[in-house]
């Protein structure tokens, strides 16, 4: 670990990882059990161990912030068909999924509207406070002696005869036989062999002040989702078309 250097062009964790909802929800979002679903599910299932590793030692204060909030998808009548097929394939895969009537859903989430007819509850899909996870990752890196360099842009990865030599950074050349490109939406720009095709996807996140406990689940609908935070913040992610409609209002 002491031979690792992490280089950031601005401040650590202030791009997508700062904006993210932190939802770890392969089941809510999957239409079928394909390879991508199995990858996402395996990743989600590794998260509790990862969180435990982050919580080791002096990072206990983060503990309360990464407790799970399960996910729920509410439905109005015309969406019921999608619900039935999602419920069926997940049941046949042995996944945790519950069918709730509107009243059962409102018993768990009293703020749900009266016209919600049914909901699916995914007890194993959950959510983390991504800003706290970033803080925990940084603290863990510091604890293990990883060198963290911020405000330093990497302009290119230097490769000669197929071998990585290091990176050209704002403060000069940094030599290394291994380079991991973890530049999020910008990763393709740095990829020396152009093997990556990473493209940004636009969404819009709104943040409201609410009462702690207003909602206990991440609540999905066809128009976006609501993410309750323990301190009372309520995030709403909109699909782009609705985001535009909201802006116009």
Ligand X SMILES: Cc1cc2nc3c(=O)[nH]c(=O)nc-3n(C[C@H](O)[C@H](O)[C@H](O)COP(=O)(O)OP(=O)(O)OC[C@H]3O[C@@H](n4cnc5c(N)ncnc54)[C@H](O)[C@@H]3O)c2cc1C
The residue from 5, 6, 9, 168 that contacts ligand X (CB under 6 A) is 9
Residue placing its CB nearer to ligand X in the complex, 22 or 102: 22
Count interface residues toward ligand X (CB under 6 A).
24
Can you tell me the distance from the alpha carbon of 229 to that of 232, in angstroms, rounded to the nearest whole number? Answer: 6
User: For the residues of 163-228, what is the DSSP string, one character each?
Assistant: EEEEEEETTEEEE-S------GGGHHHH-TT----------EEEEEE--TTS-SSEEEETTEEEEE
What radius of gyration, in Å, describes the C-alpha atoms of the chain?
21
The residue from 50, 83, 99, 186 that contacts ligand X (CB under 6 A) is 186
Segment interacting with ligand X (CB under 6 A) among 31-39, 41-49, 50-58, 179-187: 179-187
203 in contact with ligand X (CB under 6 A): yes
28 in contact with ligand X (CB under 6 A): no
Enumerate the β-bridge partners of residue 238.
Answer: 204, 224
Q: Which residues in the 78-137 window bind ligand X by CB under 6 A?
A: none
The residue from 39, 182, 196, 206 that contacts ligand X (CB under 6 A) is 182
The half-sphere exposure of 176 on its side-chain side, counting CA atoms within 13 A, is 16
Alpha carbon 86 to chain centroid distance? Answer: 22
23 in contact with ligand X (CB under 6 A): yes
CA distances from 117 to 79, 112, 155 (A): 10, 10, 53
The residue from 4, 205, 214, 242 that contacts ligand X (CB under 6 A) is 205
Q: Name the closest residue to ligand X (Cβ).
A: 184
* Of 191, 189, 203, the residue nearest 241 (C-alpha): 203
Residue placing its CB nearer to ligand X in the complex, 81 or 207: 207
154 in contact with ligand X (CB under 6 A): yes
Three-state secondary structure call for residue 10: coil
Which residues contact ligand X (rule: CB under 6 A)?
A: 7-10, 14-17, 19-23, 153-154, 182-186, 190, 203, 205, 237
């Amino acid at each position: 670990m002491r031979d690792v250097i992490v280089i950031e062009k601005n401040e650590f964790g202030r791009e997508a990882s700062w904006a993210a909802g932190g939802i770890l929800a392969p089941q809510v979002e999957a239409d079928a059990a394909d390879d991508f679903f199995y990858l996402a599910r395996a990743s989600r299932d590794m998260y509790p161990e990862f969180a435990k590793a982050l919580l080791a030692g002096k990072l206990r204060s983060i503990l309360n912030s990464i407790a799970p909030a399960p996910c729920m998808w509410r439905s109005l009548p015309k969406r019921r068909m999608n619900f039935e097929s999602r419920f069926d394939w997940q049941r046949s895969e042995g996944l945790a999924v519950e069918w709730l009537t509107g009243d059962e859903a409102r018993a768990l989430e009293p703020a749900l509207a009266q016209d919600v007819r049914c909901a699916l509850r995914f007890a194993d899909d959950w959510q983390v406070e991504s800003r706290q996870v970033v803080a925990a990752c940084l603290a863990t890196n510091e604890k293990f002696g990883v060198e963290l360099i911020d405000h330093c842009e990497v302009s290119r990865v230097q490769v000669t005869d197929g071998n990585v030599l290091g990176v050209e950074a704002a403060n000069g050349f940094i030599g290394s036989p291994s380079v991991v490109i973890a530049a999020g939406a910008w990763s393709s720009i740095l990829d020396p062999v152009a093997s990556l095709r990473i493209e940004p996807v636009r969404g819009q996140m709104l943040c409201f002040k609410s009462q702690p406990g207003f909602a206990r689940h991440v609540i999905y609908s066809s128009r976006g989702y609501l993410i309750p935070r323990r301190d009372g913040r309520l995030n709403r992610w909109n699909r782009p078309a609705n985001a535009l409609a909201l802006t116009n209002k």
